[in-house]
Each structure stands twice: as C-alpha cells, then as structure tokens.
C-alpha cells in the first residue's frame, strides 16, 4: 500500500482525498500549442524551392502551368514542396490518388528526380486538380503560407506532445529538489525493470525517469497524465503493480507519478494500484515525496 504516513497523511482516506482534490485540470503549458522550432525548421527547409515558385504569382492559369512545368524540369527539388502546400505528408515522397475521370488510381512521385515530359504533365494536372496551382498563382508570400500550413499540421501532434510536457514538468520539479550527488536520467537505456517481466534486453521499454546515486539506479519513475478515461489507464495499473514487485526484488524503489481529470471517473482502478504500490503521487504531492527522500538522504535501502 502507498506509504501515506510517510507522505504526511494520517489515513489512506486523507491521502486519497488530497490526491483527488489536487488533480490538475490540464497539463497544457505554453509549449503545448505549437512546436515552433519544428514548424519553422520545416518551412525554412524549402526556402530555395519556394523562391523558384515565386514566378507563378499573379499569372493566368495557362501561363502558370507552363512556368511550373519548366521549373520542375529545371529544378527537380521543387517537387518535394508540392505536397506540403496542400497539407499532405507524402510517404516516401509518393501520393496515390483515385481519378474518377480515368476510373483508376494514379501514383505521383514527389521525390526530387529528373522527370520525363509525360510525368511532368501528370504532375501539372495533379497541381491543377488539387488546388496547388491556385495557391501558387494567388499567394504572394509562399513562405508565410507554408508556415501557416505547418502550424495547422502541428496541432495533430498535440496529443503526443501532451504526455511529454507533463513528463518535463515532473522532471523539472525533481531536478530542482535533488542534491548534486543524485542524477536524474530520462529514458535511460542502461536500466529497465521491464527486462524482468518478459521482454528481451534490447527491446525492453524504458522508464520515463531513472534516478542514480553512486552510479547505481535507486529509483525508477513512470509518469503519465490522463485527460480522458479508457482502457489504457486500467491496464497501466496492472503493469505497475508488477513493476513495483520486481523493483523490490531488485532493490530499486518504484514511483508512479500520475495526474489528470480522468482519474475522477476511474477511482477504482486507481485505488487498486494505490493498495499495491508503495509510492503513488500526483504533481501537487510530488514535493512531499521528494522532501521525504531528501530527509533520508536518498538512502533507499532504508525505505
């Protein structure tokens, strides 16, 4: 069971009530919304190609088709930017499209390469029918346009970024509250309790954080944040109960740091984990845990 007394609570009920009361409503930091470094890096990657396409701005459709064909033939690197203009990630540079007028699927290769005359014509037709040609003739600043497209595309990464942001929040608190002789390693490739529960060494899952003292792993930490309910949190509880057992066998302390509004609707699996795992805290309770570890000078064998 969670060592609630050590965390400063009189009863398990007091501990659990405080856990639920202090759950974070969101883990959104300013970095959640847009990964500007990634977005700008992607847009800047095509500066030269976008310059080649400036000539199409303001011209009529037939002239634009002629200019674009000539540009593609002269500067094949332009091909790679075409999918991005319509917010498409071309897998290995290729896009498959069903053409109703031809009643068949067509494959277009947008990797930089020398194109034949017929292939160039096919790509021009793709640009005309997909709207790329309209963009090239009506948008004056293609770099700013592409930057806007990438901002929109980046919103699809928010879900994956959410978990990493919470992990970074936790890491920041821990690093700010540990002595110099303790080292915090994220995604450590040299140690994993998962190796002892059926996975081979090379493929074992890595812990979100591992804390070392005297070059020995003393604490393995898993961090997660749940905005919505589902089967995954319930499955996680079972796997962490096993990790807690394995950690004890290996002389390592296992810590589960979890948060998020979803736990308000998943109290039973959460309680099941708390009944079996020694250390379960949310973000607000983390300073209590660190204060205790510091009080025993990170001598985890004393736990």
Mean pLDDT of 155-167: 83
Q: Domain range for residue 255?
A: 12-22+178-302
**Tokens encoding 152:** 């929109």
Q: How many separate domains does the chain show?
A: 2
Which CATH number goes with the domain that contains 235? 3.40.1350
151 and 188 inside one domain: no
203 and 291 inside one domain: yes
Q: Would you call 65 helix, strand, or coil by DSSP?
A: helix
Could you say which of 96, 123, 156 is where a domain stops?
156
Mean pLDDT of 56-71: 97
The confidence score (pLDDT) of residue 254 equals 98
In this structure, how many other beta carbons lie within 10 angstroms of the beta carbon of residue 270? 21
The confidence score (pLDDT) of residue 296 equals 96
The model's confidence at residue 162, banded by pLDDT at 50, 70 and 90, is: confident
Mean pLDDT of 121-125: 97
186 and 151 inside one domain: no
99 and 123 inside one domain: yes
To the nearest whole percent, how much of the chain has pLDDT over 70? 98
Range scoring the smallest mean pLDDT among 24-33, 116-125, 213-222, 259-268: 24-33
Q: Is there a contact between 109 and 83 (Cβ–Cβ < 8 Å)?
A: no
The model's confidence at residue 200, banded by pLDDT at 50, 70 and 90, is: very low
183 and 229 inside one domain: yes
Average pLDDT, the chain: 94
Question: Is 247 inside any structural domain?
Answer: yes
Mean pLDDT of 75-88: 97
Inter-helix orientation angle 61-74/117-130, to 10°: 130
Whether pLDDT at 163 is above 90: no
How far is the C-alpha of 269 from the C-alpha of 186, rounded, in Å?
A: 27
Whether pLDDT at 187 is above 80: yes
Question: Is 144 inside any structural domain?
Answer: yes
Question: Is 1 inside any structural domain?
Answer: no
Whether pLDDT at 202 is above 70: no
């Amino acid at each position: 069971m969670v060592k609630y007394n050590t965390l400063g609570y009189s009863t398990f009920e007091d501990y659990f009530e405080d856990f639920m009361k202090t759950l974070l409503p969101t883990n959104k930091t300013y970095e959640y919304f847009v990964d500007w470094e990634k977005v700008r890096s992607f847009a800047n990657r095509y500066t030269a190609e976008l310059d080649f396409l400036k000539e199409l701005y303001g011209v009529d459709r037939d002239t634009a088709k002629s200019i674009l064909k000539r540009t593609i033939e002269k500067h094949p690197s332009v091909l790679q930017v075409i999918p991005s203009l319509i917010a498409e990630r071309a897998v290995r540079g290729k896009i498959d499209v069903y053409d109703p007028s031809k009643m068949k699927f067509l494959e277009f290769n947008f990797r930089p390469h020398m194109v034949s005359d017929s292939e160039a014509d096919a790509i021009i037709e793709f640009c005309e029918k997909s709207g790329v040609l309209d963009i090239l003739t009506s948008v004056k600043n293609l770099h700013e346009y592409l930057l806007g497209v990438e901002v929109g595309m980046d919103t699809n990464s928010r879900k994956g970024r959410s978990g990493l942001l919470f992990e970074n929040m936790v890491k920041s608190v821990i690093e700010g509250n540990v002595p110099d002789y303790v080292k915090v390693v994220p995604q450590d490739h040299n140690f994993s309790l998962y190796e002892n529960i059926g996975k081979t060494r090379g493929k074992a899952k890595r812990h979100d954080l591992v804390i070392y003292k005297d070059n020995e792993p003393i604490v393995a930490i898993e961090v997660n944040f749940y905005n919505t309910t589902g089967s995954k949190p319930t499955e996680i509880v079972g796997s962490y109960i096993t990790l807690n057992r394995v950690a004890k066998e290996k002389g390592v302390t296992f810590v589960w740091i979890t948060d998020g509004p979803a736990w308000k609707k998943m109290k039973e699996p959460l309680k099941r984990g708390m009944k079996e795992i020694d250390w379960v805290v949310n973000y607000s309770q983390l300073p209590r845990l660190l204060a205790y570890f510091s009080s025993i000078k990170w001598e985890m064998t004393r736990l």
